[in-house]
Structures are given as structure tokens and as C-alpha cells.
């Protein structure tokens, strides 16, 4: 917690808004997506989905497959508890909806389904997108699959990332949301494994890049990768782009 507070204060000092951005691509992204004021009707659906989770006291068995899942190795927690402490916050779910809508992602991979809050946001952003989400917590993944069953474009895979990545890396993805194992080693391994599945317009989104010093180290290594051209640090997320037409630049944006 101390590290996160200090890193956030440093982030505030070096971050900017659209007025400090000189890249037309990033400027448009910030003004037309990050800072878009126009209300989306589907924000109501995001709130309604979260509300149903907050009311649900059904116990779910938890398995600790990485630092991002916190707590002990095996325990029971309710959707209500998870929605308050581990799910994608509403403000970030709204941004994820806007990002999916803005870039019109058609193929999306999510590493870490949890209760499906982010999954739900992305399908609202583009209901035609084919979304594959993976989670190693079998009970939680089954719960999310049931909650999202009406969306036929969502495919939730139960099992570890290592189990499914050999097949998933064989296809091209417009967007990959890394929201699972929050360790430096695992994050870099997943990044390297899925790098061949990126195309020129793909977007990789890394959750909690300031979770710990080692997660920040992983983020810095990813930024320096030769195939990465543009990155955006929003503190909670790190966005990675592979656009060959862009010069290599790193941005720190308040969202």
C-alpha cells in the first residue's frame, strides 16, 4: 500500500492531460475516448450488472493462482465481496466500454475473468466482438459464465493461463486485457507468449502496473520492447500499441 501511494503521487507529478499530447493518434484517443463526456446508455447496464453482484451472498470457492487474487490459497468469498474488492471498478469498466467502442475491437482476449465485470463492459462496447476470457478459479469462472450466458459472443475458458495460451497464441487479437497473475515473471511470460498474436492495430492493456515494484519493473521492460511503439500509462492501466507508423513514445495521462 505504501508503494502504491508513493507511486501515485509520482504519477500525478509527471502526468498530463490532452494539452500535453503532441501525437495526433494519442490526442484523438484522449479527447474522443478517455475524456468523452457523452453519456452511454449502456452505462446503466454496467451499473445494473454490478448491483446484482453486490446483492449476491452465494459463497464461491477461491483459488490463489497469482498475486492478483490476494488472500489465502483456498477460501470462500461471495460475489458481493469480490465486486467490492477485486472486480473492475465502475469508472474503469466505463473506460473499457469506451475503448472497445472507440477501436471497434472484433477479437478480444481477457486473462482473468473474475465476475465478468470487465467482460461485460467490453461486450457492451461492441456486442459483435468475439470475446474469449480465461480464468483458473473454476467456480468463479462458472459463475461469470452463467451471469453472461445471454451473450453468445462471450466464451469463458476454465483453467490456468498456461493451459490455454498455447492455443490462444495461434490467432490474432485486436485487444488483450491482462488482468490475472500480478507478478513480474508471469506478466512478462504472458506478454512474450502472446506477442506474435498482435497485429499493427492491436492494443494490449495491462492492469495494475503499480501493484508492486516488480509489476512496475515488468511494465518498464514491456515499454522498452522493440516491437512496442506507443505506450500510455494511466496509473491503473498500461496501454501498449504496435503501430509501425508511429515513432516510439511513452505518455503518462490522467484519466
What pLDDT does residue 60 have?
93
Q: Which residue has the cell 468475439?
A: 130
What pLDDT does residue 186 have?
96
d(CA 7, CA 66): 22
For the beta sheet containing 173-178, the strands, ordered from the edge strand earlier in sequence to the opposite edge, are 154-158, 130-135, 107-111, 173-178, 198-207, 237-241, 230-233, 249-252
- Asked if 132 and 168 touch (Cβ cutoff 8 Å), the reply is yes
- Asked if 63 and 138 touch (Cβ cutoff 8 Å), the reply is yes
What pLDDT does residue 222 have?
98
What pLDDT does residue 69 have?
43
Bridge-based pairing state of the strands 173-178 and 107-111 = parallel
What pLDDT does residue 66 have?
54
Question: Cell triple for residue 32?
Answer: 474522443
* Phi and psi angles of residue 157, each rounded to the nearest 5 degrees, phi first: -105, 130
> DSSP assignment of 149-186, as one string?
TT-TTEEEEES-HHHHHHHHTTS-EEEEEE-S--SHHH
What pLDDT does residue 230 have?
98
Bridge-based pairing state of the strands 173-178 and 230-233 = unpaired
What pLDDT does residue 87 have?
83
For the question of whether the overall pTM of this predicted structure is more than 0.85, the answer is yes
d(CA 186, CA 67): 10
- Please count the helices (runs of H) and the strands (runs of E) in the chain: 10, 10
What pLDDT does residue 62 have?
85
- Asked if 187 and 157 touch (Cβ cutoff 8 Å), the reply is no
What pLDDT does residue 64 have?
59
* SS3 of residue 237 by DSSP: strand
As averages over each run of 10 residues, the pLDDT of the chain (255 residues) reads 94 91 94 91 94 95 61 72 90 97 98 97 98 95 96 96 95 96 95 98 97 97 98 98 96 95
What pLDDT does residue 20 have?
82
Amino acid at each position: 500500500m505504501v508503494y502504491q501511494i508513493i507511486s501515485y503521487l509520482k504519477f500525478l507529478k509527471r502526468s498530463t492531460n490532452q494539452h500535453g499530447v503532441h501525437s495526433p493518434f494519442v490526442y484523438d484517443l484522449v479527447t474522443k475516448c478517455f475524456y468523452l463526456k457523452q453519456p452511454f446508455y449502456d452505462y446503466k447496464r454496467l451499473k445494473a450488472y454490478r448491483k446484482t453482484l453486490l446483492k449476491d451472498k452465494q459463497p464461491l470457492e477461491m483459488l490463489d493462482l497469482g498475486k492478483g487474487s490476494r488472500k489465502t490459497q483456498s477460501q470462500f468469498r461471495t460475489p458481493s465481496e469480490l465486486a467490492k474488492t477485486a472486480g473492475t471498478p465502475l469508472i474503469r469498466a466505463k473506460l473499457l466500454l469506451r475503448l472497445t467502442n472507440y477501436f471497434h475491437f472484433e477479437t478480444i482476449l481477457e486473462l482473468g475473468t473474475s465476475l465478468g465485470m470487465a467482460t461485460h463492459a467490453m461486450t457492451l462496447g461492441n456486442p459483435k466482438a468475439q470475446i474469449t476470457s480465461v480464468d483458473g478459479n473454476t467456480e468463479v469462472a462458472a459463475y461469470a459464465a452463467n451471469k453472461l450466458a445471454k451473450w453468445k459472443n462471450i466464451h469463458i475458458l476454465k483453467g490456468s493461463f498456461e493451459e490455454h495460451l498455447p492455443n490462444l497464441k495461434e490467432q490474432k487479437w485486436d485487444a488483450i486485457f491482462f488482468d490475472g497473475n500480478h507478478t513480474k515473471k508471469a506478466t512478462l511470460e504472458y506478454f512474450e507468449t502472446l506477442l506474435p498474436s498482435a497485429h499493427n492495430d492491436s492494443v494490449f492493456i495491462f492492469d495494475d502496473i503499480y501493484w508492486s515494484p516488480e509489476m512496475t519493473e515488468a511494465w518498464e521492460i514491456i515499454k522498452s520492447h522493440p516491437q512496442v511503439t506507443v505506450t500510455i500509462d494511466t496509473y491503473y492501466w498500461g496501454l501498449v500499441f504496435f503501430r509501425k507508423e508511429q515513432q516510439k513514445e511513452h505518455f503518462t495521462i490522467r484519466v
